[in-house]
Structure formats: structure tokens, C-alpha cells
Structure 1
């Protein structure tokens, strides 16, 4: 599957062999750590504070952009509707106009790419 990276360049994204729920919960932990939040808040069925809601949106965005998971699959993992995931991706993409936030998201995307590379059986890490 070929997606366009937010920078405008095409980015090849493979569907990982790891279960989607595991990926999404791992992303919740990664993003929660980056935002200084508890990961449970991002997985919680309640909306939470605006900061937690935005962090959850970032995790959903990363699941879609970084791992090519469908809105429906991500929604199931976060106990949300697919339209909520779609909205989250739009919100995060729109927020990339802020340079500082864009750099933060780019770093998280790089972490996702490194994780995916390390789990697809083709990585040259440590060689």
C-alpha cells in the first residue's frame, strides 16, 4: 500500500504482522509518554481532558499513517467509531501547520517506522 507522507513524498507503508490492538495500545503508551500522560487515559472509553483527547487522536493518526491500519480497525482498538478516527486524523493533520508540533509528530512517525522495520523480518539493525 502506498500512502503519501505529510511532507508530500510517497511513503511505502506495510501492514504489520502484529495484531492491530497490540499496535494501537503500544502507540497509546508511546504517545502518552511523549505527552506526559498515563496510557490508560488514551485507551479509556471516556473522552478525558482536551490534552488526553488530543494525545489519543495522535495515537490514532500514527496507527493509520504509520501502520496503514483502517479507521475501523483503529476504532475497535480504541473503542471508538471509525468516524471518530477519521476526525482524529484530520485534526492531527491540520495541526501540522505548527512547526514545533510537526517536528514532534515527525519524531513519533520515525519511531513508528523504526518499530515496524524491526518487526517485519527485513531489518538490518545490528548487522
Structure 2
């Protein structure tokens, strides 16, 4: 019989089976699959971090080119490191559809920082020159990660 605490008193419950502590030893195959699941998580995390690192390098190059032309001096004067990180976070979210938490882990920031960064980039897209720059960035990321759109001017074989 199992006992149940109710208002400080114990009573017997006949409808409940007795509680037992069942600890069966894992077989080697169970242990191997659990270990593979953990390493799979590490591999996915490493893959995300690699994707983010590639996008960061791409954004740095595009940002330098953009500041020389379409973006102008105002954008170059803003904290460029922060701005490039926000662009990276935005591209990871919009183009690669990464969850905010995964992006945050990859860039070493909090989830709320990623949300703010994405919103900041979205707000800046109201300016036509900045919107054109971000469209180019999105196209470049799609080409690099094999997600080219039909309207992209990339020759396909």
C-alpha cells in the first residue's frame, strides 16, 4: 500500500501500486545511443557555431564594402563591432531560421540581446540604402549555405 500525505496526516491508498525504485542497468547499446545523442548535440552546436563564424566573416567583408559605398559615413561611425554582430544575428535568424537561443550561444550573448539586435536591424531596414545592403547580405548567405532563392542572380548548373 502507498501512503499519501494529506493535511499533515498519512493515509493508505489501496488504488495505487506500491512505489518501487526500479533502476535497471543500461545495456551497452542503450549507453552507446545515449552517448551518440550527446555527441550529436555537440556536433550540432559546433555546426551552428561554424555557420555563425562564417556569417561573421562574410558580414565583416560586406560591411567594409558597404561603408565605402551604399551605407555611408553615418553607419561606419556607429559602433561597427556591435553593428556587425547585430547583422550576423539577424542573418542567422532570418536566412538560416536559427532559434534565438542557439544564436545567443554561438555569439556569446544573451537571448534577449539577440532579439534586440534583430529588431534593431529590422528598424534600420526602413532606409532604402540599408535595405538594399541587407538584401545583398541575405543573398550572399543563401549562396554560401546553399539556400539560393529563385530571384537570385546566381547561375545554377
State the TM-score, normalized to the length of structure 1. 0.67
Give the Cα–Cα distance (whole angstroms) in 2 for the partners of residues 107 and 66 of structure 1. Answer: 12
- Which ranges of structure 1 fall in alignment gaps of 5 or more residues? 1-16, 38-48, 119-124
For residue 112 of structure 2, what is the aligned residue in structure 1?
A: 83
Aligned residues: 95
For residue 83 of structure 2, what is the aligned residue in structure 1?
A: 54
Q: Which has the larger radius of gyration?
A: 2
Aligned pairs (5 A) from 1:1-20: 19-20=47-48
RMSD (Å) for aligned C-alpha atoms: 2.4
For residue 113 of structure 1, what is the aligned residue in structure 2?
A: 142
Match of 1:30 among 37, 58, 66: 58
Give the Cα–Cα distance (whole angstroms) in 2 for the partners of residues 116 and 54 of structure 1. Answer: 22
Give the Cα–Cα distance (whole angstroms) in 2 for the partners of residues 29 and 50 of structure 1. Answer: 17
Greater RCO, 1 or 2 (C-alpha within 8 Å, sep 6+): 1
For residue 104 of structure 1, what is the aligned residue in structure 2?
A: 133
- Which ranges of structure 2 fall in alignment gaps of 5 or more residues? 1-43, 66-77, 148-154
Give the Cα–Cα distance (whole angstroms) in 2 for the partners of residues 78 and 110 of structure 1. Answer: 22
